[in-house]
Structure 1
Amino acid sequence: MQKLLKLDKSWALGALAIMLAALLWSLDGVFIRPKFYVLPAELVVFLEHALGFLVLGPFIFLSWPRIRLLKTKEWLAIGWVAFFGGALGTIMITKAFFAAVGGEVTFATVVLLQKLQPVFALVMARLVLGERLRRSFYAWALLAVGAAYFLAFGKTGLKLAEINLGHSAAFYAIVAAFAFGSSTVFGKRIVNHLDFKATAALRFGVTSFLVLAYSLATGSIFSITSVGRIYWQYLALIVFTSGALAMFIYYYGLKRVTASAATILELFWPFSAVALDYFINHNVLSPVQLAAAGALLLAFLKIVVAEKAPKFEFSSKVSGGIGRGRRLGFPTINLDNDKIDINYGIYLVESEINGKIYKGLLHFGQKETFAEPASLELYLKETVLGIGDEIIKIKEIKKIREVKKFASAEELKEQMKVDLRELG
């Protein structure tokens, strides 16, 4: 009971959202996508993203004031997610599964190699985002990855003779694993700085244009005349299950958890796929699979309940500003934010300057009130003289609120007075 009271509700809600998205993805792989076997993979990917963009597109217009203030770093992340996660990854995994459906290669080859995805994601989350979680998380992550393998191969066993690494499908599966794993990491960078609804819409929009260009280059777009009524119905089903809806839910969750946690929680996909296979096709699980399923559920439970979003710590160099904070009566220290990958917000922090600790408020986010890009600014309760180009260490105490747009500078000043109460 005491542990439940300490539950990080935002983290838990985000984790459950990612698991729900993974459940929807399992419907795609088991029941829907194989039905498109006769069509070019890139055509299928284009149509599902184009239709998804029609649904999500309005969120771009609603979030345009923030989108237009994005920096190059965020646009590069959007491009990465659209190209690798939306276009390349989806085309590669579709080609791999089509090869398996056609009997060219075993499903074991595709499944085994595609499960490298969490490995890619965990490594990149550390290198790109600097994520450092508790040791307990990595222990549960290792258990989850191992259990996922036993869940997939626990009935027939992993017969290495059936694994054809020389077939193109093996290459497709590895590329898909890297593409999806890396897009989780760069997707986290985007949702840290943009609304999850707009993030999903941008992913589908940019991906649609990329895959359309590829489909035109290969000529596969002209196979659209072969898409009969039943396929359009299946495409509509994808949009409102494993496609646009799933990604909408997924980015809602990714906003609240780390990329490392997200990639492990995505393993709910093989768990739910096996569960659906049991309930719908009555394929009984072996004792090994049952044990693996139990281990996966335990890992999920621990990550959802026992883990929480880590407090950030970073060092940043003092940079120049335009002096608006001083004119408003709240002088701030401007900091370099090029390497900062935390959620936008107003935070209560501790800062270390020249070996001394000061309590302060940290603003990180776009200045929508003045239609300006993101800034990282530190307000200190105490006056600190002689600050030059020092490196300041910042440690989060807690998040106070989200960054928001105010109707005027006066309204902003009133909110800042409220925020300052946190300093005591």
Structure 2
Amino acid sequence: MSHLSTSLFKHQAVKPAFWFVVLGAALWGVDPLFRIILLDSLTSTQIALLEHIILVLFMAPVMWKHRQELRKLRLRHLGALLFISWGGSALATIMFTKGLETGDLNAVLLLQKLQPLFAILMARWLLKESLPKSFGTLFIVAIVGTYLLTFGFKLPFTNLNDIIQVGSLMSIGAALLWGGSTVMGRYLLGAVNYETVTSLRFILALPLLLALVIGERQVWTLPGESGALALVGLNLLLQALLPGLLSLLLYYKGLSAIKASYATLAELSFPMVGVMINWIAFQQVVTVTQVAGFLMIWATLLIISRQQERNAQPLAAA
């Protein structure tokens, strides 16, 4: 009876877990709104450092509460921890911010859609995950929907020089690191809980970011007026807590119960939030093609969620 109850619980948890990842990734959509404002006063590295200081202050007590989890980690987990903390948390954050600062915003956002490609390849290689027969078709539908959300029917690039530029290269690097972090995070969640993974992601990134800021030797140009300084502080706090802390807690909670290859498609909820942010903050009218893209992505997410629910039913019955 206990075994049956556990199986039924796992079955019921599959669908919510998928949407936890969707919600966590959707919160990333508000990230550029805060980050672009902060670039008026700080460098990309300085923003990342201050953001992680705030995150560590919040997550250090959580890590202390779950400190017994550290005993479950083995030497083989060290590489995954360094990848998600140094790569996915520190370097990817700097590269994405630098991309927003030096590149075309549309190009930076579109190139982030390479994350699923990197994650799928790494999931098949490292986690030996099998993919459903319809995964390729669903992936193409989601990418087309993302393209329509970002560009409509217009061509994003007029020549090769628009792609090969600093901002675009930074964005590709961030996509590679974040896509890989999805897989490495899923690997770590096989050993410890999501609170521990989230805490270590921020805590281990802090020394590297501090060293990068010191090596950068850039002057801190915070505004002198108290009102402007308070605005910078508020933006930094919201940036750290919403698309930073809350999004990752939801993300890793969901990721602990689903495959990394499913999660990386769930992360495509990001462009939908980006469209709403543009509409609300910058009064950009949503076009018919953007609505079509929105519906294509949500249809993909719904189908994948239904597939997971059906796949879980035989396990629950057993």
TM-score range normalised by the length of the shorter chain:
0.7 to 0.9
Q: Which residue of 2 aligns with 1:318?
A: none
Shift of 1:210: 1.3
Higher helix share: 2
Shift of 1:169: 1.2
Q: Please say if 1:237 is aligned against 2:238.
A: yes
Q: Please say if 1:170 is aligned against 2:168.
A: yes
Cα deviation, 1:238-260, whole Å, max 9, x if unaligned, reads 22211111111111111111111
Structure 2 distance, partners of 1:65, 1:6, is: 25
Shift of 1:307: 2.0
Cα deviation, 1:315-369, whole Å, max 9, x if unaligned, reads xxxxxxxxxxxxxxxxxxxxxxxxxxxxxxxxxxxxxxxxxxxxxxxxxxxxxxx
The more displaced of 175-184 and 107-116 is 107-116
Cα RMSD after superposing both structures = 2.5
Q: Please say if 1:274 is aligned against 2:285.
A: no
The letter for the 2-side match of 1:268 is S
How do residues 20-419 of structure 1 correspond to structure 2 at under 5 angstroms?
20-29=23-32, 31-38=33-40, 39-100=42-103, 106-154=104-152, 156-161=154-159, 164-220=162-218, 223=220, 228-308=229-309
Shift of 1:6: 12
Structure 1 distance, partners of 2:22, 2:221, is: 33
* CA separation of 1:206 and 1:127: change in aligned 2, threshold 3 A: same
Contact 1:86 1:207 in 2 (8 A): yes
* CA separation of 1:188 and 1:22: change in aligned 2, threshold 3 A: same
Contact 1:45 1:87 in 2 (8 A): yes
Shift of 1:65: 1.6
The letter for the 1-side match of 2:74 is K
Shift of 1:398: 5.4
The more displaced of 43-52 and 270-279 is 270-279
Contact 1:125 1:260 in 2 (8 A): yes
The more displaced of 159-168 and 85-94 is 159-168
Contact 1:112 1:149 in 2 (8 A): yes
Cα deviation, 1:71-126, whole Å, max 9, x if unaligned, reads 011122111101110011111010000114xxxxx223322322211111111111
Structure 2 distance, partners of 1:77, 1:19, is: 23
Contact 1:117 1:181 in 2 (8 A): yes
Structure 1 distance, partners of 2:259, 2:16, is: 13
* CA separation of 1:6 and 1:74: change in aligned 2, threshold 3 A: closer
The letter for the 1-side match of 2:208 is L
The more displaced of 149-158 and 64-73 is 149-158
Shift of 1:46: 0.9
* CA separation of 1:306 and 1:69: change in aligned 2, threshold 3 A: closer
Contact 1:258 1:309 in 2 (8 A): no
Cα deviation, 1:25-63, whole Å, max 9, x if unaligned, reads 11112x211001131101100111110111111121122
Structure 2 distance, partners of 1:8, 1:224, is: 53
Structure 2 distance, partners of 1:218, 1:120, is: 29
The letter for the 1-side match of 2:192 is L
Higher relative contact order (CA 8 A, sep 6+): 2
The letter for the 2-side match of 1:129 is L
Contact 1:28 1:242 in 2 (8 A): yes
For normalisation by structure 2, the TM-score amounts to 0.88
Structure 2 distance, partners of 1:66, 1:293, is: 40
Identity, % of aligned positions: 27
Shift of 1:308: 4.8
Contact 2:72 2:192 in 1 (8 A): no
Q: Which residue of 2 aligns with 1:322?
A: none
Structure 1 distance, partners of 2:30, 2:146, is: 17
* CA separation of 1:179 and 1:63: change in aligned 2, threshold 3 A: same
* CA separation of 1:310 and 1:182: change in aligned 2, threshold 3 A: farther
Shift of 1:23: 2.0
Contact 2:72 2:191 in 1 (8 A): no
Cα deviation, 1:363-400, whole Å, max 9, x if unaligned, reads xxxxxxxxxxxxxxxxxxxxxxxxxxxxxxxxxx959x
Structure 2 distance, partners of 1:193, 1:275, is: 37
Unaligned runs of 5+ in 1: 101-105, 312-396, 400-421
* CA separation of 1:144 and 1:163: change in aligned 2, threshold 3 A: farther
Structure 2 distance, partners of 1:211, 1:81, is: 14
Unaligned runs of 5+ in 2: 1-7
Contact 1:109 1:170 in 2 (8 A): yes
Structure 1 distance, partners of 2:30, 2:126, is: 31
Contact 2:123 2:261 in 1 (8 A): yes
